[in-house]
């Protein structure tokens, strides 16, 4: 068991090792001993940087969510009409998740399990997403494209109405070749609902 410590031990390096172990063994069999072995250190050292196995897993979940949602802020901050941006935002969110899910279903399931454990992380992340929706809708109201009484309420409604297309519990349906048309149909309905009459 010769160590291969070519760098100092950092949270960053531990997270990378943890991801590798999760990729290889899945969430059920990944242990912190495995993580330590990949790093060539004793498992006690890992506990110097993460208070518990749970904390480590939460950090991995957080990291993954950041990566999966990385493309969205650019859409939110775009210059296109609000309706277009809203549709594009929803398709981006759906598209990234679907691609991840279909590309490597097992790895996707691993990350989903991780995120499901980390209820704090997930709540914060969802609030951030709804805030982006609210910003797009607010822009639309300002430009006269949309007319809504209560922007946050509508943002939440849009988020909830598209649960089928971004919530991992529905990922089995994302293999349906018709799924994008379904999302479009829901978008049509929602956008018509947001427009002034």
Contact residues for a copy of itself, defined by CB under 8 A: 153-154, 156-158, 160-164, 169-170, 182, 185-186, 188-195, 197
Q: Choose between 47 and 122: whose C-beta lies nearer to DNA.
A: 47
Distance CA 131, CA 111 (A): 23
* 122 interacts with DNA by CB under 7 A: no
Question: Long-range contacts of range 99-104, CB-CB < 8 Å, 24 or more positions apart?
Answer: 100/68, 101/168, 101/171, 101/174, 102/174, 102/175
Check if the beta carbon of residue 31 is closer than 8 Å to that of residue 65.
no
User: 3-state class of 95 per DSSP?
Assistant: helix
Nearest approach, Cβ of 172 to DNA (angstroms)?
22
* Residues from 36 through 75 that contact DNA (CB under 7 A): 41-45, 47-48, 51-54
Q: Choose between 113 and 186: whose C-beta lies nearer to a copy of itself.
A: 186
Q: Choose between 93 and 194: whose C-beta lies nearer to a copy of itself.
A: 194
CA 180 to chain centre: 19
Contact partner at residue 164 from DNA, a copy of itself, none, CB < 5 to 8 Å by partner kind: a copy of itself
Please state, in angstroms and as integers, the Cα–Cα distance from residue 90 to each residue in 11, 36, 78, 114, 123, following that order.
33, 39, 14, 23, 19
Nearest approach, Cβ of 147 to a copy of itself (angstroms)?
9
Nearest approach, Cβ of 79 to a copy of itself (angstroms)?
25
Check if the beta carbon of residue 114 is closer than 8 Å to that of residue 61.
yes
- Residues forming the site for DNA (CB under 7 A): 3, 5, 8-9, 28-29, 31-34, 41-45, 47-48, 51-54
């Amino acid at each position: 068991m010769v160590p291969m410590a070519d760098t100092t031990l950092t949270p960053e390096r531990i997270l990378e090792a943890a991801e590798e172990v999760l990729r290889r063994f899945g969430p059920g069999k990944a242990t912190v001993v495995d993580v330590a072995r990949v790093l060539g250190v004793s498992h006690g050292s890992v506990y110097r940087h993460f208070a518990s196995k749970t904390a480590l897993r939460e950090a991995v979940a957080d990291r993954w969510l950041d990566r999966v949602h990385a493309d969205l802020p650019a859409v939110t901050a775009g210059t296109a009409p609000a309706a277009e941006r809203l549709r594009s935002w929803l398709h981006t969110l759906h598209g990234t998740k679907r691609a991840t899910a279909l590309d490597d279903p097992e790895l996707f399931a691993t990350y989903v399990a991780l995120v499901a454990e980390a209820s704090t992380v997930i709540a914060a992340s969802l609030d951030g997403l709804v805030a982006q929706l609210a910003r797009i809708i607010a822009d639309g109201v300002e430009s006269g494209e949309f007319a809504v009484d209560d922007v946050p309420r509508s943002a939440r409604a849009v988020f909830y109405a598209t649960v089928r297309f971004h919530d991992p519990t529905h990922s089995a349906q994302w293999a349906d070749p018709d799924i994008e048309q379904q999302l479009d149909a829901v978008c049509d309905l929602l956008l018509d609902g947001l427009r002034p009459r």
